[in-house]
Structure 1
Amino acid sequence: MDHQDQLAAQFERNRGHLRAVAYRMLGSVSEAEDAVQEAWLRLSRADVSEVANLAAWLTTVVSRVCLDQLRTRKSRREDSYDTFVPDPIVTRIEPAGAPRVDPEEEAVQADAVGLAMLVVLETLAPAERLAFVLHDLFGVSFDEIAAIVGKTPVATRQLASRARRRVQGAPQGDGDVTRQREVVNAFLAASRSGDFEALLSLLDPDVVLRADAGNIPADALAASRLIRGAEDVVRQALLFAKLSPHSQPAEVNGLPGAVTVVNGKLFGVMSLEVRNGRITEINILADPDRLNHLPLPA
């Protein structure tokens, strides 16, 4: 095996980790793949003979690529933060009556990064997001992060701290995967039957619904919108009752959610946050352009 083949093999061993870092940094499946591919290109052109920890080197490279992307697109999304929903990752679509997963798998799901957190991360400054993701989610030291963002370790620690406060202040679920699955199934059933009271009983009074339909005209039924409050969210849910028979439970970002598929075409992906048996936040991606490029399990 020649040197280039050895590098390629080492890179492939780290690809999953690099993709995970890039996705949490960017909230986009396609952009994350592009960042990982750029890391490979830089590796293939670099002399890494003196690099003691290639995984750390690659993490630094992909982080810098992501930071550049975040800085480039920052102004592009300032007007759409309220309704922007990051790309979801659907890893399983559950047929009706599917058995529950085992406790070990549920523990893995409970540690997943949900869309609600990614929505909050979209509102952070690029350096704040990088510091939080690398330190809090991947355990990278502040000394290493400081070298990436061009700040002192103390300043980098402050970036992560500010980001952490924003994340902790957002609506969050309680990590009870079994209960969340029950609530998702109940929500889908109530939507299909058009049961206003049943839907209302499942929602926290201060629930937030965020629907990202991309560039669909503002007067369209499925236009992007942000809705707060249980009764208004129920009314919005009932507007889409005709699509509810096509919705089914799915695993979205490692947690129970739902997808809507009509004639083999993906119409929407829904993620919910559940606390104490009530839905506190609903995030829906209904952007046709992005859904067309969303990888789904076979």
Structure 2
Amino acid sequence: MTINLLATQHLAGMDLLQLADFSSESIEGLVRLADDMKKNKGNYANSLQGQILGMIFEKSSTRTRVSFEAAMLQLGGHAMFLSSNDLQIGRGETIEDTGQVLSGYLDGIMIRTHHHSRIEALAEAASIPVINGLTDAYHPCQALADLLTVYELKGKFKGQKLVYVGDGNNVAHSLMIGCAMTGMNFTLTAPAGYEPASEIVEKAKEMAARTKAKIEITADPCEAVKEADFIYTDVWTSMGQEEEAKERLKAFAAYQVNDQLMSLAKADCKFMHCLPAHRGEEVSASVMDGAASVVFQQAENRLHAQKAVLYSLMKK
């Protein structure tokens, strides 16, 4: 407990917009804190008593909404669901004005939105912690839950190899940064035109140079998964990309995570997915529902990772 607090106590009042906002020590501290909160739930009851988290949703969600709301309740606080359809930002009020107004009512804000610049503007205007529940560029809370899952299964990060198969999207960006910060080797395999943003790859490589991790991007999924400890995928068509669905199904046809691809990795390789999953597209049902799958452990860990974030940023 002492180690966890020493690594995270300085985060009080800060925003979490992307993992790179924090130090590697703080990220690992959040993971260890989340692990302790999962094992010793009662030790943290009422730690955020009387505090209110406002949850702004401009994109729909299952895991983000339920896990954040449950997290606040378990910590003794309260969470308010704020749909953009019910707020004045849905009718033209600026995100900056919204941030200043909500700062007078709440103790923290979680927002799930589109352009990353939007959450940056909100955080700049707000005087309370702002947490990224997802933007088009990053999904840091998902990556923290993924790191917690790795930590539970392996007890360490360094020397592990995680391979992401599929679209270089917001989940891939945060996962790549998280791996680089904790010393995990990260390989992403995607067809041409669907690679992660080059500036984020460069940022990850700079971090990896300090932690001795390897960051690799390749178009060959069979080569990529060799010696993998974890194989991770996400849907091929994310929210807002529905018009590209047919084109994406064709482009990613050779990138399905199935039994054949899993057989090329280590014998004890685990399968990860941020959910929701489309069986028969990015992953076969046999892998999704097989013995190597840890996807529901990941999903539960959203709750515990977010409790660690809320506790560290909002505790008075």
- TM-score of the superposed pair, with normalisation by structure 1: 0.29
Instruction: Please identify which structure carries the higher helix content.
Output: 1
- TM-score of the superposed pair, with normalisation by structure 2: 0.27
